[in-house]
Structure 1
Amino acid sequence: MSDALKKPWVLTVLISTVLLLSWEAYVMGGYVSPLILPRPVDIAVELIRMLQQPSTYYHLGVTLYEAVAGFLFAALIGVMLGVVLAKLPPLERALQPIIIAIQVVPKIVLVPLFILWFGFGMTSKIVIAAVLAFLPILSNTLLGVKSIEAGHRDVLKSLGATSWQRLIVLELPSAMPAVLTGMEVGIIFSMIGAVIGEFLAGTAGLGHLAIAKMNAFEAAGLFATIILLSIISGLLYFLIALMRSSFTGWHATADNLATAH
Structure 2
Amino acid sequence: MTAQLLHAPEQATTTPGTRRGRRISRRSLLVAAGVVLVLVVVCLLWQLAYDQEWVNPLFLSNPVAVATALWNGVVHGELLGALGITLYETIVGFLLALVSGMVVGTLLHQLPLVNRIVRPYLTLLNNLPRLALAPIFVLWFGVGREARIALVLSFVFFVIALNTQAGLLNTDRDRLVLAKALGAGRFETFWKFQVPEAIPTWFAGFQLGLTYSFLGAIVGEMLTGGDGIGAEVSIGLAVYRTDQVYAEIIIMAVVATLLSGAIRVAEERLLRWRRYELRGLAKR
Taking structure 1 as the reference length, the TM-score comes to 0.90
1:256 aligns with 2:283: no
Q: Does 1:247 align with 2:276?
A: no
- Contact 2:130-2:155 within 8 A present in 1 as well: yes
Q: Report what 1:94 is aligned to.
A: 117
Unaligned stretches of 5+ in structure 2?
Answer: 1-25
- One-letter code of the match for 2:84? G
- Secondary structure of 2:58's match? coil
Q: Trace 1:1-261 onto structure 2 (pairs within 5 A).
A: 8-257=31-280
Structure number with higher relative contact order (C-alpha < 8 Å, ≥ 6 residues apart): 1
Change (3 A) 1:220 1:107: same
State the distance in 2 between where 1:20 and 1:68 align: 33
Deviation, structure 1 residue 157: 3.8
Greater Cα offset, 88-97 or 115-124: 88-97
Distance 1:4 1:255 in 2: 26
Deviates more, 1:225-234 or 1:155-164: 155-164
Identity of matched residues, %: 27
C-alpha offsets along residues 108-159 of structure 1, whole Å, 9 cap, x if unaligned?
1111111111111111111111111122222221111111123323433444
Q: Of the two, which has the highest radius of gyration?
A: 2
- RMSD between aligned residues: 2.1
Per-residue deviation at 1:241? 1.1
Whole-angstrom CA distance in 2 between matches of 1:227 and 1:201: 22
Normalised to the residue count of structure 2, the TM-score between the two structures is: 0.83
CA shift, 1:206, in A, is 0.3
Contact map agreement 2:172 2:197 (CA 8 A) in 1: no
Tell me the alpha carbon deviations over residues 189-238 of structure 1, each in whole angstroms, 9 at most, x when there is no partner: 00111111111112210011111111221110011111111111111111
SS at match of 1:257: coil
Cα distance change on mapping 1:256 and 1:93 into 2, 3 Å: farther
10-19 or 181-190: which moved more? 10-19
Aligned residues: 256
Residues 7 and 54 of structure 1: CA distance in aligned 2, closer, same or farther (over 3 Å): closer
Residue 240 of structure 1: CA displacement?
0.7
